Amino acid sequence: MEYVKGKPISAVWDDTSLAKRKMILKQLKGHFDEMRSIPYPRAGVICGVPTGPLFDRRIGHDRRGFGPLANERDFQQFSSMWRRSRCPKLFTIQDNMSYKICFTHGDAHSGNFLVRAGKIVAIIDFEMSGFFPEHWEYIKAMTMTQNVQLHADGFWKLELKNFLAEYPKELESEILRHELFGEYGIQSDLPWP
């Protein structure tokens, strides 16, 4: 890797003019649109790159990963390993989901986008990327930033709608999952060998 001169968006946002903020948001939208256009390797499969396991801090801190999973339904069931009787509302929301599978960064907080002079010069930290349901990027960004120290002021959550499609029902489902089981609650329920 080479060193890229730039600072995380979170470090410069307050000192950035409105015009440059708009330019940065437009660039972010272009980058996310481009990521979503990356050809999908295996129809229907939720997988890492190229078609291997996925990684997510919520699900595990080691490098074993999980998946690939055969389809979106398997992904939803895997990410909610708890019995339906424990949370019927979560499953009611989840059962109505059906989305395009697309390439997702998976860790889209403002610290992972480096800027210089109003331009994005690097996107970093792709270890949680993969081919996920299209809502995954938005709900992950909205729920993970609450635990990232750089984002205590919430500016990133307010700006997400400017470059990512919003998924309010899916976000409600993810917030409910966090409330019931904690951010890392899924780890203890997984059937690790």
Tokens of 89: 């509302």
Tell me, yes or no, whether 107 lies in a domain.
yes
CA 100 to CA 93: how far, in whole Å? 17
Whether residue 186 lies inside any domain: the answer is: no
Residue 164 lies inside a defined structural domain of this protein: yes
Q: What is the pLDDT of residue 97?
A: 64
Cα(131)–Cα(48) distance, integer angstroms: 6
In a domain, 147, yes or no: yes
Structural domain that includes position 48: 7-181
The C-alpha atoms of residue 161 and residue 163 are separated, in whole angstroms, by 6
* pLDDT classification of 82: cutoffs 50, 70, 90: very low
Q: Say how many domains are in the chain.
A: 1
Give the pLDDT score at 33: 97
**Residue from 25, 15, 53 nearest 164 by CA:** 25
Domain assignment present for 123: yes
Q: Is residue 2 part of a domain?
A: no
Domain harbouring 154, CATH code: 3.90.1200.10
Per-residue pLDDT tens over the stretch 154-191:
889 899 999 999 999 888 888 877 777 665 544 444 44
Q: Ranked by mean pLDDT, which of 79-93, 102-116, 170-184 comes out on top?
A: 102-116
Indicate the pLDDT class of residue 84, thresholds 50, 70 and 90.
very low
